[in-house]
Amino acid sequence: MSKDCVNIILFGAPGAGKGTQAQMLKMKYGLSHISTGEVIRQEIASGSELGKSMEGYIARGELAPDELVVNMVADFVKRHKDNVGNIFDGFPRTLVQAEEFEKIMKKYGITVDMMICLNAPEEELVRRLLLRGLESGRADDCGEEVIRNRLKVYHQMTETVADYYARTDRVCKVDGAGSIDDVFHRLCETIDKIKESKQKA
């Protein structure tokens, strides 16, 4: 694996800005990007059997089943294993997913370099998601009750995934508050340090 290759998990609560920032980072660094949430929403929009089975989970602000999400990511890694790097946006979201993800990456001789956690105050997250719901019509952003349930699920089931990566010193926290450009600048500084560290190793 090239020292120029960088594989990053972009982590954070719903509304932290992962999708927006991932698109900008993808352009700057030439990375591939997968958002499991976006893949599921595309399936729902297409009316596929997979989409129909997922629609209820999304509407309630719940997580999709581990097996389904892991299979999506396994397919993505297989197709993009030789890229200059990848951004995994909002994945893994459970400890089961994290453990399976490590097996997938190991199979292809690649590793997660860093989990970058975007942090923002909860009321700011709610405000962003309500605004996004008005603009996009996304079912999981269209009401405060669903949004707060999504945040509750995140705190109960997903936050602990950061502890999993912290055990191997692969967690970095980045302030997700402020303008999109400000957050992007902080993320770029972090990724440049990761790449520099790999070059020296």
Which residues are within 8 A (CB) of 132 and not within 5 positions of it... i.e. 6 or more apart?
Answer: 15, 138, 141
Q: How confident is the model at residue 62 (pLDDT cuts 50, 70, 90)?
A: confident
Domain-wise residue ranges, the chain: 6-196
Q: Which of 73, 63, 64 is nearest to 33 (CA)?
A: 73
Beta bridge partners of 117: 11, 173
Instruction: State the distance between the two ends of the chain, measured CA to CA, in whole angstroms.
Output: 13
Q: What is the pLDDT of residue 3?
A: 63
For 77-106, how does the pLDDT look when each residue is reduced to its tens digit (9 = 90+)?
998 888 889 999 989 999 999 999 999 999
Q: What is the pLDDT of residue 23?
A: 95
CA torsion sign, 157 to 85 to 180 to 167?
A: positive
CB atoms within 10 A of CB 27: 10
For 132-179, how does the pLDDT look when each residue is reduced to its tens digit (9 = 90+)?
888 887 777 788 998 999 999 899 989 999 999 999 999 999 999 999
Amino acid at 102: E
Output the six-digit token pair for 114. Answer: 């860093």
Q: What is the pLDDT of residue 81?
A: 86
Let me know: does 157 contact 149? Beta carbons within 8 Å: no
Tell me yes or no: is domain 6-196 CATH 3.40.50.300. yes
More confident residue, 53 or 86: 86
Q: Please provide the size of the chain in residues.
A: 201
Amino acid at 135: E
Q: Whole-model pTM?
A: 0.87
From CA 52, how far away is CA 7, in angstroms rounded? 31
Name the percent of the chain lying above pLDDT 70: 99
